[in-house]
Structure 1
Amino acid sequence: MCLWDGELNKMKLTRFCASLVVVASMLAPVGPMLTSAEAASKIVAVVNGRPITSYELQQRSKLISLTTRAPSSVAKRKAKDELIDEALKLEEAKRVGVSISDSKVDDAFATIAQRVKLSPSQFKQALSQSGVNPRTLKNRLRAEISWSEVVMQRFRATVRINESDVIAALQGKESKDDSGDTSVEYDLQRIIFVVPKNSSKSFKNKRVAEMKKLRARFTSCEEGTRIASGLNEVVVRPIGKRLETDLPAAFVQKLNKISIGRVTAPTPVDSGFEMIALCGKETIDSDATARSTIEGELRNKKGQQLSRRYLRDLRSNAVIEQR
């Protein structure tokens, strides 16, 4: 579960959806995309030995034109920069051991489809209708999700928000919210049952069965996490306190279906399967909500600054050949 603030905003979903509504209205049956253009593509750049082809450049340009309505010349220039950056991001992700599963990419793809009120298959059709191979968007999503994980790993310990910064931001608001609004804060812990890659289906089923047994015994975080910590290849990690506004809506719905001291149903993750323990749930007032929101905004801003610096360093040390 990725909680890095503003992750989906990077995809500029709002503008993307607005463009695709028009495309969706013109849906017509289409066959599989021809691969002749891909087969005939040429190398337009090489990033640390990784080639970028003219087909990739053409497809990314079309995607950018579709989502931003940029002129073709601008879209092509931006597409090349994006592809170079993504090659560096994916290379760095591999170096630090970050691997994003296909299911996580598919989930992000489905989220975008949902925003335009389409099923994933209809969304693929809409992209194809506009001449964009759906794999082009999925490649972009994979790179962005991977990079978000890389940045979070590297800077989690270094991103700190001072109390004075929060107070200054609060005082900088034009007016104080006196509406009496409230928000719900959840105290969470993650329980991961590790499953090695390439494990058999029977082994995976065995792990799920073990999780279900633990779930039945899990009636309090103190006792449940103690039991979980004593099991083989099980990792217990604190998530901490999170506002409902900081969590995906679907995940909040899952949390609201269980009581304090219980855990969610097992779900697959890159390292195996996980359950989330609900250790606390509290309704807080608007001032606390505002403070938490501002702190999140400040942390996200600082994280973006560090992300840009990280990528700039990767670029300066890379061997990039443009043809």
Structure 2
Amino acid sequence: MRLTFRLILCLPLLLAGHALPALAQSFSPAIKVNDRVITEYELDQRMRMLRLFRTPGDIPAQAEEQLIDDRLRLQAAGELGIEPTPEQITAGMSEFAARANLSADQFLAALRQGGVAPETFRDFVRAGVAWRDVVGAKFGPRVQISEQEIDRAISSGGASGATVQVLMSEIFLPLEEGSEAETRALADRIRRMSADGFARAARENSTAPSAGAGGRVNWVPVSNLSPQLRQVILGLRPGQISAPVEINGQIALFLLRAIEESENRAPTYSAIEYAAYYIPGGRSDQALAQAARIKARVDTCDDLYGVAQGQPKEVLERGIKVPGEIPQDIAEELEKLDAGEVSTSLTRANGQTLVFLMLCGRSFDVSGAVSREGVALDIQNQRLGSFANGYLQQLRSEARIIRP
């Protein structure tokens, strides 16, 4: 089980169905991990649970490996004096069940129907909660996230690796003094609208930059959403509109259009800033030599103002544009550049003018929905996950694992 209980985030938990045969009652030892025993009954129960989770692969082998790991996790917790409280275990069970859109009681009922005892699920969650606290205690102080790392993660569209992405539309309504009741009433009406009605309401009422596009926002990594919004968005079905949420003095509503898990999706940006300095002579040796001299002088787009000083203002073009507004040839060149890098591949005026193209920067924004706290938490979880995996491998290498 992973540190933040993401094991079944995207698994179809179709737990309803026929109950399995009566539980095996053999409590004879199957595996011994140091001084801790895993019984045949526990193996049978874990296999049943994994099948209900629709876990792919070799179920018996995975059941063995998971139970061995759980014993090692609980051993490490005991050595640190860590023991999850009943309240922590109950909260963990509820969180796990919520990923299947079920309450803890509903989840337990579905497990019972599949032949899995409540204690089996409780033990599973207990080991995960204990391990989370072990990893936090041992490695938490080592993980320090800088502001620069958060900036890089946001500008690249989220942290690296597989990530859950959501495609949504948004409406932001300002809460102005004296008109709060009308604004809340409008939000309630929007919540009951269709997707087309939501788009019209966004164009007519939203203060977000996406209003002109009917509130449509590009793919957003869930890791970039604030914890509050993660819960709201992941609780929706595609096509469903959220309840109103208060964010920074505004009421926000979100329409979930799609959700998927992908590996390193290419980032999308709300705006791209670039500068184009035009040099007469096209691709002549003289023009290219001038471009090389300029490249050696400048580090940022601001430096081009000094290069263009005293010349007609038309020689330097600079601005911030949404991707769809950028000419295609320039957009294709900008895709190859990082901020501060230069391209001299393009010309204008039938090849008579060389374009000195420089990328100033890119913006990744979802109108206040992106949370630096959420991005930092995602980076932190990834690093703690790496520490946790390494530590678990160490515990395994040192353990005495005996199969009678």
Q: Which has the higher contact order (CA 8 A, sep 6+)?
A: 1
Where in structure 2 are the equivalents of 1:1-323 lying within 5 Å?
Answer: 7-9=4-6, 11-15=7-11, 18-20=12-14, 23-24=15-16, 26=17, 37-38=24-25, 40-70=26-56, 74-116=58-100, 118-173=102-157, 244-245=227-228, 286=367, 289-323=370-404
Question: Offset of 1:123 from its aligned partner?
Answer: 3.0
Letter in 2 for 1:136: T
Offset from partner CA, 1:230-261 (integer Å, 9 cap, x none): xxxxxxxxxxxxx6538978xxxxxx9xxxxx
**2:46 and 2:63 in contact (8 A); partners too:** yes
Percent sequence identity over aligned pairs: 28
Question: Structure 2-normalised TM-score?
Answer: 0.45
**1:61 and 1:76 in contact (8 A); partners too:** yes
- Separation (CA, whole Å) in 1 of partners of 2:391 and 2:63: 20
Relative to 1, partners in 2 of residues 1:69 and 1:302: Cα closer, same or farther, differing over 3 Å?
A: closer
Relative to 1, partners in 2 of residues 1:126 and 1:244: Cα closer, same or farther, differing over 3 Å?
A: closer
Report the RMSD for the aligned CA atoms in angstroms.
3.7
Relative to 1, partners in 2 of residues 1:286 and 1:93: Cα closer, same or farther, differing over 3 Å?
A: farther
**1:27 and 1:126 in contact (8 A); partners too:** no
Question: Offset of 1:162 from its aligned partner?
Answer: 2.9
Letter in 2 for 1:139: D
Which one has a bigger Cα radius of gyration? 2
Letter in 1 for 2:13: S
- Separation (CA, whole Å) in 2 of partners of 1:83 and 1:151: 18
Relative to 1, partners in 2 of residues 1:104 and 1:292: Cα closer, same or farther, differing over 3 Å?
A: closer
Relative to 1, partners in 2 of residues 1:50 and 1:298: Cα closer, same or farther, differing over 3 Å?
A: same
Question: Structure 1-normalised TM-score?
Answer: 0.56
Relative to 1, partners in 2 of residues 1:168 and 1:79: Cα closer, same or farther, differing over 3 Å?
A: same
**2:69 and 2:392 in contact (8 A); partners too:** yes
What number of residue pairs does the alignment pair up? 212
- Separation (CA, whole Å) in 2 of partners of 1:124 and 1:150: 27
User: Which structure 2 residue ranges, 5 or more long, are not aligned?
Assistant: 159-168, 173-225, 233-245, 247-365
Relative to 1, partners in 2 of residues 1:6 and 1:85: Cα closer, same or farther, differing over 3 Å?
A: closer
Relative to 1, partners in 2 of residues 1:292 and 1:34: Cα closer, same or farther, differing over 3 Å?
A: same
**1:169 and 1:294 in contact (8 A); partners too:** yes
Question: Offset of 1:84 from its aligned partner?
Answer: 0.4
Question: Offset of 1:171 from its aligned partner?
Answer: 2.8
Relative to 1, partners in 2 of residues 1:104 and 1:246: Cα closer, same or farther, differing over 3 Å?
A: farther
Letter in 2 for 1:48: N
Question: Offset of 1:115 from its aligned partner?
Answer: 4.9
Q: Which has the higher helix share?
A: 1
Relative to 1, partners in 2 of residues 1:134 and 1:13: Cα closer, same or farther, differing over 3 Å?
A: farther
- Separation (CA, whole Å) in 1 of partners of 2:138 and 2:171: 35
**1:181 and 1:286 in contact (8 A); partners too:** no
Question: Offset of 1:117 from its aligned partner?
Answer: 5.3
SS of 2:141's partner is coil
User: Which structure 1 residue ranges, 5 or more long, are not aligned?
Assistant: 183-242, 250-255, 257-284
- Separation (CA, whole Å) in 2 of partners of 1:80 and 1:150: 22
- Separation (CA, whole Å) in 1 of partners of 2:64 and 2:384: 24
- Separation (CA, whole Å) in 1 of partners of 2:54 and 2:63: 12
Letter in 1 for 2:398: N
Question: Offset of 1:76 from its aligned partner?
Answer: 0.7
Question: Offset of 1:7 from its aligned partner?
Answer: 1.3
